[in-house]
Chain A
Amino acid sequence: MMEKTKIKKVFREGPIDPGFIAGSIAKHQSKTDIGAHAIFLGQVRNDVIDGKEVQAIEYSAYEEMAGQAFHKIREAAFGQFELSCMHIYHSLGVVKKGEICLFVFVSSPHRDASFKALRFIVEEIKAKVPIFGKELFEDSSYVWKENRS
């Protein structure tokens, strides 16, 4: 069953453009069974670590395993919540502070399922998808980022 379902492409090189997000919303106007969209946008934050400000995060991933992990998250969300559709995009490569690195978009007939599914999907991505991030400083030094639980 798993092998037959197409694994959707999640990764995009560089930041996720706000225009792309707007376009994704517009595309759903033809799907008139939808009553509620919920959107999560992850943005690169300028954390200060040992007195140095993060300028950007450089993302990398174990792409084959990440593709399977995203697929499992999709299947689990569709199994648990009444969803009309779901889209996940995550950046690879350098994303500057203030830019968008994660875009999760769920749609449902009603708001309750969309809110719950969105939370579920974002938490699962943070915990289960092998994505790594180098926090880059102005002086070209870096530290590896770790998600808080």
Chain B
Amino acid sequence: MNLNIKYFGMTTDAAQKSAEVFEVPAGITIGELRNTINSKYGNLKNISYKIAVNQELTNDEDRQIIEASEIALLPAFAGG
């Protein structure tokens, strides 16, 4: 299945882009996806970021992604 990955804030610097598509096995967990992205872009390992699935933040690294979704990498917020 395809995941539409969006990068925000300092994660855009690490990936050198704002979006791309990842092809991953259905059922991949958030933690596995994080490892996959971090191994592609080494600099991401030094950045603390949360992951949103279809615009909902998730803290559960064991949560499985079972269908094509929009994934966002969200570092510290800076609004206001």
Contacts and interface: CB of A to CB of B under 8 A. Distances in A.
A65 B54 CA distance: 9
A146 B79 CA distance: 9
Nearest to A144: B10
Interface string B52-63: 100100000000
Contacts, number: 67
A125 B75 contact: no
Contacts of B72: 62, 65, 130
Interface string B1-32: 00000101110010000000000000000000
B44 interface: no
Interface residues of A, number: 26
Which of B8, B55, B74, B77 has the most CB atoms of chain A within a 10 A radius of its CB?
A: B77
A62 B78 contact: no
A124 B22 CA distance: 32
Contact of B77 (A57, A122, A127): A127
Given A65-B55, A68-B55, A125 B74 contact: no
25 contacts: A59-B78, A60-B9, A62-B52, A62-B72, A102-B79, A102-B80, A125-B79, A126-B80, A127-B77, A128-B77, A129-B77, A131-B77, A131-B78, A131-B79, A131-B80, A133-B78, A133-B79, A144-B13, A144-B78, A146-B76, A146-B77, A147-B77, A147-B78, A147-B79, A147-B80
Interface of A: 42, 57, 59-62, 64-65, 68, 90, 101-102, 122, 125-133, 144-147
Given A59-B78, A131-B77, A145-B78, 6 more contacts: A68-B55, A125-B80, A126-B80, A130-B74, A132-B77, A147-B76
